[in-house]
Structure formats: C-alpha cells, structure tokens
Amino acid sequence: MREAKIKRKTKEVEISGIINLDGEGKSEVETGIKFFNHILTTIVKHSMIDLTIKASGDLAHHLIEDVGIAIGSAILEALGEKKGIKRFGYAYIPMDEALARTVIDLSGRPYAKINLNISQEKIEDAKTEDIIHFFSSLAQASKSTLHIKVIYGVNAHHKVEAAAKSFALALKEAISIDEKLKGKIPSVKEAL
C-alpha cells in the first residue's frame, strides 16, 4: 500500500492524519473551514485516494497553506521512488456553467500556475487567494508541476469545484500504476 502519515506542527498550526494513494475515495476531513472541507472531500472522492486529516490553527490562511504542504509532502512520501507510475495526468471537468482543466507532472520539479478565474475575494467561508495558495503549496511540497485553469464560468463555487475535480482526476491518473513500465521510473533520466 502506498500510504504516508500526515503530521505537521508549527506555532501556527497542528495537522495530523493519513493518506492512502490506493484507496477508495474515503475521507474524514476536519479543518474548521466548511468550504475547504468540501473541496478536500471532493478531491478525495474523485481521485480515489483515502484521506484522514484533522487540522487546527490560528488563521485560515496558515491552516489552508499548511494543509497543502502536509498533503503534498504525504503524497511525495507515499509515491516512494515513483516506480511504475504514469507520472502525467490531465483532465477537463465541467461543473454546470464552469469548465476547468488541470495538467500535472509528478516530475520532482515543483512549479504551480493556478488560475481560478475568480474576481471575488471570498467563496463562502474561504478566501479565494487561500484556495489558490493551497494548490500551489501542495504542488511545491509534492515536487510536482501543476497547471490549473478555470477556462470559464459564472458561479465562483462552481469554478473552484470544477478545478478541484479536474485536479482530482489528473492526480488519479498520474499516481496510477502503468503495468507496461514494470516497476521502472517513467523518465529517460531514470530519476524523478
């Protein structure tokens, strides 16, 4: 099983849990931020990973950022040497009037370009910039190249949910095992 414990404690936050990349889409998420809980649960459901996470902190910004770091670090650890993974994943997902695209490379080279195409400052009880920062922090900690773009839409909730679902499906594809690789690292360098 490709699992890792999640543990991060600073003066600002305390996060604990476990991630299983070979899961069934089960989640137990408790961050104290309802919209963020919804986004995490959505990612788990559609990526088919299992995630248990309990997070508390002083400010929503710190909490959301550090959850991204903690989950990204756990994904990296659970992937181990990355032998046999597909490495790349992409998905287009509609959510009513919104359409989002995610492309991910579990390359070992961290980079994030996140465009949620949202002008409003807040979505329910979460700041838009904090959701963007979550995805960026996850990409940095998992050493992944991540591009997320909401192509169009009207409703901010729908835009973020489409982005979360497209991220989930792209991640699901990238972490999946390709039997043709027979345990090899998917790189001409033979290292990721």
Would you state the CATH architecture of domain 3-181?
2-Layer Sandwich (3.30)
Q: Rounded to an integer, what distance in angstroms lies between the CA atom of residue 115 and that of residue 76? A: 24
Residue 101: the pLDDT is: 98
Q: What is the mean pLDDT, run by run of 10 residues, along the chain of 192 residues?
A: 96 98 98 98 98 97 98 98 97 98 98 97 97 98 98 98 98 96 88 86
Task: Give the 3-state DSSP-derived string for 35-56, with helices as H, strands as E and coil as C.
Answer: HHHHHHHHHHHHHCCEEEEEEE
Residue partners of 79: CB distance under 8 A and separation at least 6 = 2, 21, 85, 106, 175
Q: Could you tell me the pTM of the whole model? A: 0.97
Residue 183: the pLDDT is: 87
Residue 158: the pLDDT is: 98
Distances in Å between the Cα of 63 and the Cα atoms of 48, 49, 71, 126, 141 are 24, 21, 12, 11, 15
* Residue matched to tokens 């659970």: 78
What value, to the nearest 5°, has the Cα angle with vertex 15 and ends 57 and 121? 50
Residue 78: the pLDDT is: 98
Segments making up each domain of the chain, as ranges? 3-181
Distances in Å between the Cα of 153 and the Cα atoms of 45, 50, 54, 125, 181 are 23, 29, 32, 20, 39
